[in-house]
Structure 1
Amino acid sequence: MKEAMIKCDNVSFKYRVNEGEEERYAVNGVSFQVEKGEFLVVLGHNGSGKSTIAKHMNALLLPTDGTVIVDKLDTSDPNNLWDIRAKAGMVFQNPDNQLVATIVEEDVAFGPENLGVPPEEIRKRVDESLKKVGMYEYKRHAPHLLSGGQKQRIAIAGILAMKPECIIFDEPTAMLDPSGRKEVLNNIKEINKKYGITIVLITHYMDEAAQADRVIVMDNGKIILEGKPRDVFSNVRKMKEIGLDVPQVTELCYELKNSGIDIDTNILNVDEMVNAICQLR
Structure 2
Amino acid sequence: MSDEMIKCTNVSFKYIKDSEGIKEEKYAVNGVNLEVKKGEFLVVLGHNGSGKSTMAKHMNALLVPTEGTVVVDNLDTSDPQNVWSIRSKAGMVFQNPDNQLVATIVEEDVAFGPENLGIEPLEIRKRVDESLEKVGMSKYKRHAPHLLSGGQKQRIAIAGILAIQPKCIIFDEPTAMLDPSGRREVLKTIKDLNKKHGITIVLITHYMDEAAQADRIIVMDGGKIKMEGTPRDIFPQVERMKKIGLDVPQVTELAYELKKSGIYINEKILNVDEMVNALCQLK
Question: If the length of structure 2 is used for normalisation, what is the TM-score?
Answer: 0.97
Partner of 2:15: 15
Q: What's the CA shift for 1:100?
A: 0.5
Please name the residue that 2:260 is paired with: 258
1:22-45 Cα offsets, whole Å, 9 max, x none, are 111111111110000000000111
* Separation in 1, partners of 2:56, 2:104: 29
Pairing partner for 2:130 from 111, 128, 135: 128
SS at match of 1:257: helix
The residue aligned with 2:121 is: 119
| Shift, 1:20, TM fit | 4.5
Gaps of 5+ in 1: none
Match of 1:168 in 2: 170
Match status 1:99 vs 2:118? no
Shift of 1:258: 1.1
Amino acid across the alignment from 1:92: F
- Counterpart of 2:193? 191
Aligned 1:23-38 pairs, distance under 5 A: 23-38=25-40
Q: CA deviation at 1:17?
A: 2.5
Residue in structure 2 matched with residue 6 of structure 1 by the alignment: 6
Which whole-Å CA distance do the structure 2 matches of 1:257 and 1:156 have between them? 41
Distance in structure 1 (CA, Å) of the matches to 2:271 and 2:174: 23
Deviation of 1:154 after TM superposition, in Å, equals 0.3
Q: Displacement of 1:80 after TM fit?
A: 0.8
Q: Deviations over 1:185-243 (max 9, x none)?
A: 00000011111000000011100000001000111111111010011001100001111
Q: Which amino acid in the other structure matches residue 273 of structure 1?
A: M
The CA distance in 1 between the partners of 2:28 and 2:73, in whole Å, is: 24
Q: 1:220-231 residue pairs with structure 2 within 5 A?
A: 220-231=222-233
1:268 is matched with which residue?
Answer: 270
Offset of 1:273 from its aligned partner? 1.1
- Aligned-pair identity (%): 79
Runs of 4+ in 1 over 6 A off after TM superposition: none
Structure 1 counterpart of 2:179: 177
Residues 156-199 of structure 1, C-alpha deviation per residue, up to 9 Å, x if partnerless? Answer: 00000000000000000000000000000000000111110000
Root-mean-square deviation over aligned CA pairs: 1.2
SS in 2 for 1:158: helix
Shift of 1:253: 0.7
Matched residue SS, 1:21 = strand
2 CA distance for matches of 1:240 and 1:50? 17
Report the Cα offset of residue 279 of structure 1: 2.4
* Selected match of 2:76 from 74, 77, 86: 74
CA contact (8 A) 1:2 1:35 kept: no
SS at match of 1:244: coil
Q: In structure 2, what is the Cα distance between the partners aligned to 1:277 and 1:97?
A: 45
Q: For 1:183-222, list aligned pairs within 5 A.
A: 183-222=185-224
Q: Which moved more, 1:14-23 or 1:184-193?
A: 14-23
Counterpart of 1:215 in structure 2: which amino acid?
I
State the one-letter code of the partner of 1:15: Y
- The CA deviation at 1:278 is 2.3
* Gapped regions of structure 2 (runs ≥ 5): none
Amino acid at match of 1:202: I
The aligned counterpart of 1:59 is: 61
**CA-CA distance at 1:16 after TM superposition:** 1.5
Hey, what does 1:241 align to over in structure 2? Answer: 243
Q: Give the Å deviation of 1:2.
A: 7.0
Q: What SS does the aligned partner of 1:99 have?
A: coil
SS of 2:142's partner is: coil
